[in-house]
Chains A and B, each alone.
Chain A
């Protein structure tokens, strides 16, 4: 069994982050598992987590009277959650494990403190988060075109 800090460098999100920085952030992390159907977080809850997914798939859902709509998925090799950076730090979606999920959960408050104390680390993390957000925003925008929908 490898420690969290030993496994993080394998994850694409942390590529290029030095071992010192990794050890620093690993201090905010715990391993988590979720069975299929189990919720990792719910809309409106206090969003103090940042998930790094090692195995499995998490669906981002929006509850509706007629059933939930899945608007995004995060898989192995991806990360989930940036609401811990944006006040009022609340989840804007439900996060449900679709397959068995093995992930690392970082405590948001802990990460915010470490970033404030070490701006270089903070900038490196923010650069990576912005890349994720940009990719997800692009995906959402293109899906807004409803290209496969009836014209």
Chain B
């Protein structure tokens, strides 16, 4: 598969190591996507990595990616300047399928950079807010300075009827919020366990503990969706790298019902 060329039209430094890019296709054709999907983003001469789409699904003309600088390819992407050309393949994967939660309460639990793939889901819900019940966003970040999308978090809370609760692993003197694990916020969420969909994205340990917390409260495993991550090379189910036993994370996921992965996550080195 050959990448499509996209030009960076705008950049924003979100935190010390994370940046958001706005991309537009050189050939002008919009890239329609579902919340939770990803693209294979290519920095010519450096390499290619899977990155979740963090933009508004209603705005297909602009592709938005929030990238954390953790390696040579993500460094090239996170430091790309306006005008730079990047290669894009996708969108790929099974997303959050937000529409299936209409009429339900939705609890969205984000850990660290995990808020980026969940942002499109929040935007889709907010665009049709009346179709959903109670909406809660629980967000755990490393420190106050490493929180993403802080302006939007306030706006979602003030204008969209989203109950937003934030905690950090460690605070500083100016931090007036909660300190502790994101699972410590679960008691603040208002939801009807039998009519709730939980969307979770973050490090695997965090997703496991969060899922356990909601299972304890009577949410069915199939109503908890996690976004799994494995090594990806092709993104299209052909290279075999992203397999988690019989699941191809790039095709059967990355979003999967917790019931499908729960037993797989307890095995070491699977």
Partners in one complex: yes
Contacts of A59 in B (CB 8 A): 171, 175, 179
A145 CA / B169 CA spacing, docked (Å): 10
Contacts of B206 in A (CB 8 A): 147
Return the chain B residue nearest A36 by Cβ: B176
Contacts of B209 in A (CB 8 A): 142
Q: Mark B153-195, 1 if CB is under 8 A from A, else 0.
A: 0000000000000000111110111111100100000000000
CB pair A69–B170 under 8 Å, yes or no, is: yes
Return the chain A residue nearest B181 by Cβ: A139
Q: How far is the CB of B196 from chain A (nearest CB, A)?
A: 22
Size category of the B interface is: 20 to 34
Contacts of B113 in A (CB 8 A): 148
Contacts of A147 in B (CB 8 A): 111-112, 202-203, 205-206
Q: How far is the CB of A144 from chain B (nearest CB, A)?
A: 9
Name the contact of A69 in the complex, choosing from B112, B172, B176, B205 (C-beta under 8 A).
B172
**How many CB-defined contacts (below 8 Å) exist between A and B?**
67
- Residue B17 interfacial (CB < 8 Å): yes
Number of interface residues of A (CB under 8 A): 25
A71 CA / B173 CA spacing, docked (Å): 11
Which one of B23-31, B139-147, B261-269 contacts A? B139-147
Contacts A67-B173, A147-B203, A147-B206 known; 19 new A-B pairs at CB < 8 A: A36-B176, A57-B176, A59-B179, A69-B170, A69-B171, A69-B172, A71-B170, A71-B171, A72-B180, A73-B171, A98-B176, A99-B176, A139-B180, A142-B205, A143-B169, A147-B202, A148-B140, A148-B142, A148-B146
